[in-house]
Chains A and B, each alone.
Chain A
């Protein structure tokens, strides 16, 4: 091996290291909440576009997609707790875990219905008005395709160095608000276990229908 090759190899190594650092750098630095939402949205849309099984409504694949691309950025415990409202504290840890599990299944089904409609949409961020120092922010986006643009907003909370989503607004309806009433009704008449049973039944019925 002559000297020039050795120098070249060294330079190449250095170069690779620099590229690797450049790629990792932004991920390590704190991502702004709107940038995070943009990344997740684009990531999900691209995955759906490249996956025939998801477009056909394959629940297993959709679950895998949600678990890998979305759930790491969601505070699902907070989401469930807000939907259950003031009854959450009186639920045992086991009940809380069951509630989260069943609520997630229910929401993923809602989500998979929407994913099936993904074709040539793009997600656009709307200007943020929040203060950079805020611990909770709203990121507003619009899904543009055919017809009226679809409003899709997110509430995010600061979690250490990153941000986590804890509520979603679809066309003007906040998901947590939407479920809070029906959850409260069910708990009021049949208790927390009644709500768990109801959610489980709902999920089973939908799963058996395919």
Chain B
């Protein structure tokens, strides 16, 4: 692991320790603040001021560099080439998904993702062409954060990471392992790594240009919108699209 990775891990361990401590000392919030009931998102976000700063940093970086580069990339590269790039990175993710399916004890879907990976790596020319989807083997993505969730690790507080964006303590702990299975990490040489990671980042950002434009239009406060959606979606993914109901009373039954 490189120096930045070590620094990140150290910061995470520290963050985790703090979180554990904070959780123990937490008073039930209806005793603390009966007037201002906290939402699920706020309860899961004790480090909101810090997170908002990182969120702002990511936004600034995005506006200044990442988004303009992604726009240029999208304008310059023909659609089939960008699809090829997406497929290539997705194929690595598929291989890692297969492992995570197996780690979660889901043998059938693990084998299916394994078959996807094998087909696309060979007949799909190193993953550039998504042959498996044409054959009806559909993607079912799993990462190590989901595996930890399946194993019973709580997600912990919400956390915004520089560059990587929305996360939780659990997902951030899983991230170094998830990242170690990407093309950028598997290649040798620092400049190669940086180049591949930059391509991955640019390509991903280009795929999300329409989505972030929509986000600007429909969200009141982009930070809390992203946070709440991220937390709901990750919880949903851990339970494979069918999470149990949250214990909180729905707001359709007014308190007063």
Contact = CB atoms under 8 A, between A and B. Distances in A.
Chain A facing B: main interface SS: helix
A97 interface: no
A110 B214 CA distance: 7
A85 B232 CA distance: 18
Q: Which of B218, B233, B236, B251 is most buried by chain A, counting CB atoms within 10 A of its CB?
A: B251
A86 B255 CA distance: 7
Contacts of A72: none
Contacts of B254: 85-86, 88-89
A202 B220 CA distance: 8
A141 to B, nearest CB: 11
A191 interface: no
Interface residues of A, number: 38
Interface in A101-134: 106, 109-110, 113, 116-117
A184 B39 contact: yes
A148 B90 CA distance: 10
A182 B251 CA distance: 13
B interface bracket (residues with beta carbon within 8 Å of A) = 35 or more
Given A109-B214, A116-B210, 13 more contacts: A85-B251, A109-B217, A144-B138, A146-B130, A146-B133, A172-B232, A172-B233, A173-B236, A174-B232, A180-B251, A181-B224, A185-B224, A206-B217
A149 B250 CA distance: 29
B237 interface: yes
Q: Which 4 residue pairs are nearest across A and B when measured between Cβ atoms?
A: A172-B236, A85-B251, A86-B254, A181-B39
B256 A181 contact: no
Contacts of B32: none
20 contacts: A85-B254, A86-B251, A86-B254, A86-B256, A89-B254, A109-B214, A117-B210, A147-B139, A148-B141, A149-B139, A173-B228, A173-B236, A177-B228, A178-B228, A181-B39, A181-B224, A182-B225, A184-B251, A202-B218, A202-B220
A182 B220 contact: yes
Nearest to B214: A113
A164 interface: no
Contacts of A78: 252
Contacts of B42: 181
B242 to A, nearest CB: 8
B42 to A, nearest CB: 8
